Amino acid sequence: MSGALSVAAVLAAAVPSPAQAVPPPEQQALSARPGTPRPGLGPAWELKETGVTARLRGLSPVSRDVVWASGSAGTVLRTVDGGRTWQNVSPPGTDALQFRDIEAFDARRAVALSIGAGTDSRVYRTEDGGRTWTETFRNAEPQAFYDCMAFFDRRHGLAMSDPVDGRFRILATDDGGRTWRTLPPDGMPQALPGEAGFAASGQCLAVSGARDAWLASGGAERARVFHSGDRGRTWTVADTPIPAGDPARGVFGLAFRDRHQGIAVGGDYRPEEQSPAAGAVSGDGGASWQPAATPPPAYRSGVAWLPHLPFAAVAVGPSGSDVTYSGGRSWETFDGGSFDTIACTRDRSCWAAGEQGRVARLTVK
């Protein structure tokens, strides 16, 4: 990793045991001045040159070598050499679209979601590494606005829209995104007035295992998380302590390590506004949420568990990146650069993407 050790290998020593759940002395030293980036030991971002200036809010790493990213101006990028070179594989004729989410299965197959009102919400699929694309869904409901997408496996996936007729709308696919169907709304609880999802990082919809899915919301009087245990057919909903009460506030990103252990991040995306309670945790699959004792110091839009480390995760946002070694209960800023989204792979590789074509790989110094 260009002179840096693997994330898991070095951070493993910094992960608390289940009995203690506290950082070791070297990590406590790194936490002496909360809220400011720290040189020395710990995680760091290694920037990769992408050659584009699009804002990349969609990110789907497959491995430490294969990564897909998507964003504004119809942009879709792919690397197969660990970020040394990037191919612009954008679908033709989509310059006016914003691909806020992308889900990749390997170096050749990926599904991209464009967001927006009415027909701007679309899904495209490629099976040849982005050389050609097929439009597999175009929204025909004027009230719908699709925000996020997630796949349980190579075949089964969901996409979510802001409420239509008072309920969040869910699309489902059983063939890897080649075809989509709208799930019946009866199993979805009523939305609150003004409630919606945030298409900020592709993480307002998260999945774990074969059947569990979670949906994040904001904009209403309370920021909530919805949970489904049957691939989107029926849902329950729980309040979170992350502030809402404004169209710019709520839960922006979710990550579940398994069907029990979850982290929510968010806040107020306006840079002039404070986000004093930008993190929350759940240990019961989203049935209840507790505020982080030491939350991220500002709005965060993306979050990911570090692979094979039961208590470690990283959150990102326009004003910086934070790490937790306590399952989301306490956060420490380690970088001040701007990112919108983050994702990790099973082979212990983590990536982030954001404005001005920024893409980076997580390393440990």
Task: For residues 100-115, give the mean pLDDT.
Answer: 98
Residue ranges covered by each domain of the chain? 7-364
User: In this predicted model, what pLDDT tens digit does every residue of 279-324 receive, in sequence order?
Assistant: 999 999 999 999 999 999 999 999 999 998 889 999 999 999 999 9
DSSP string, 178-191: SS-EEPPGGGSPPP
Residue 136 has pLDDT above 70, yes or no: yes
Count Cβ atoms within 10 A of the Cβ of residue 256 and give its class: 0-12 exposed, 13-18 middle, 19 or more buried. Answer: buried
What per-residue confidence (pLDDT) applies to 365?
A: 73
Name the amino acid, one letter, at 318: P
Distance CA 325, CA 315 (A): 12
Structural fold of domain 7-364 = Methylamine Dehydrogenase; Chain H (2.130.10)
Residue 112 has pLDDT above 90, yes or no: yes
User: In this predicted model, what pLDDT tens digit does every residue of 12-40 receive, in sequence order?
Assistant: 444 343 333 333 333 333 333 334 444 45
User: In this predicted model, what pLDDT tens digit does every residue of 244-275 receive, in sequence order?
Assistant: 999 999 999 999 999 999 999 999 999 999 99
Q: Which two tokens stand for residue 65?
A: 């070598």
- Closest C-alpha to 359, from 346, 343, 336: 343
Query: String of b and e for 219-255 (b: at least 16 CB within 10 Å)?
Result: bbebbbbbbbeebbeebebbebbbbbeeebbbbbbbb
Beta bridge partners of 314: 304, 323
* pTM assigned to the model: 0.90
Would you say how long the chain is, in residues?
365
- Closest C-alpha to 227, from 218, 156, 171, 217: 217
- Which residues, at least 6 apart from 29, have a Cβ–Cβ distance to it below 8 Å? none
Beta bridge partners of 159: 149, 171
DSSP string, 28-75: HHHTSSTTS---SSSEEEEEE--S--S---EEEE-SSS-EEEE-STT-
